[in-house]
Amino acid sequence: MFGEKKLGFGLMRLPLLDENDKGSIDLEQMKQMVDTFIERGFTYFDTAWMYCAFNSENAVKEALVDRYPRDCYTLTTKLHAAYLKTKEDRDRIFEEQRRKTGVEYFDYYLIHAIDQELYKTYNDLDCFQWLMEKKRQGFVKHIGFSFHDSAEFLDQVLTEHPEFEFVQLQINYLDWNSEEVQSRKCYEVATKHGKPIIVMEPVKGGTLAKVPESVEHMFKQYCPYMSISSWAIRYAASLENVKLVLSGMSNMEQLKDNTGYMTEFTPLTEEDKEVIGKAVEMINGRIAVPCTACSYCTEGCPMGIAIPQYFALYNQIRGEGKNKNALGKKYKKLSAVSGKASECIGCEQCEIACPQHLPVIEYLKEVAKCFER
């Protein structure tokens, strides 16, 4: 169903012309990345309605759909409950997605980010039967859902909806045994139900591409020619029931690196896994805020607070002991064009949107204490 290559191009963190404007996609660089991806034999592209400030699907049309025959690629997009108020919204968004991307049908279509709260909305608006009808009509070839909740709840969803063909899960070596994310337990539930898995967040929003120096040194000493992020992506791809690993690549360097070692994918050895086990122990003690920088929290923030960027700066100080003066200057520059952490009004929109279920408001208070004294 997913092809031979185990790497997919996630179109959520595309190259930008302005790092403070998530919708300012660098289309020329994106075209070059798409060309290289396809030239190296990869075909899977993953977008969604709200990615890149609602511009990702438009960019897909210009960089991919308008430039390649339909049989050269497979395209995935998603329906998210946050933008559904009525049953009519389902078709309105779906038809707009077809218009934006320029395709007649989607190879894969996902109910997006299921958790216990959003599941109720999807059921109330009959989204599951609606998607089945789209498949019967030929507008969707394969149906699945992405998931952010407990393994117990995943078991309930798959029991109630066996019609779904695959599940998209957050899996990486840092979250594998996490009681919050429950990567391993969710993997085991999906496998029990016979559902193949697509992996999202294999490098945890960049966290596992920019590991502490001690961890980087260990990886490089063990295998000098492999990139740091390759350890994370190969870890996920080595799992037996994982059919595809998505990587949100933001520049050509990342794309060439990922496609380089994933063209002829080699699973991790037992010795490799032991090295990763040591890395987990070293990293876990140094992450203050386990944010994946998905930016779902920022879309509706009334104060325009750059939440993921602030958390990244905070992690560098608290977890990695980086120079506070230099990071303070970065915070000051970023807060000049975004809301300050202290300007949070506690509306909880960010916490509702966060797929990691983080106490964002409390973390922002800590960021403000750190940078705004």
Q: What are phi and psi of 58, to 5 degrees?
A: -65, -40
Q: Compute the CA torsion angle 358, 360, 361, 362 (nearest 10 deg).
A: 70
Find how far residue 285's CA is from the centre of its chain.
Answer: 23
Joined together, the tokens standing for residue 33 give 């990345």
Joined together, the tokens standing for residue 156 give 């309930």
Instruction: Give the residues across from 146 on adjacent strands.
Output: 168
The C-alpha angle 15, 19, 25, rounded to 5 degrees, equals 35
Instruction: Give the residues across from 25 on adjacent strands.
Output: 16
154-191 exposure pattern, b = at least 16 Cβ within 10 A, e = fewer = bbebbeebeebebbbbbbbbbbbebeebbbebbbebbb
Find how far residue 83's CA is from the centre of its chain.
Answer: 19
pLDDT per residue of the chain (373 residues) written in tens, 0 to 9: 888 899 999 999 999 999 889 899 999 999 999 999 999 999 999 999 999 999 999 999 999 999 999 999 999 999 999 999 999 999 999 999 999 999 999 999 999 999 999 999 999 999 999 999 999 999 999 999 999 999 999 999 999 999 999 999 999 999 999 888 999 999 999 999 999 999 999 999 888 998 988 999 999 999 999 999 999 999 999 999 999 999 999 999 999 999 999 999 999 999 999 999 999 999 887 778 888 888 889 888 999 999 988 888 888 887 656 677 888 888 988 898 899 999 999 999 998 889 888 899 999 999 999 998 7
3 state DSSP class of 344: coil
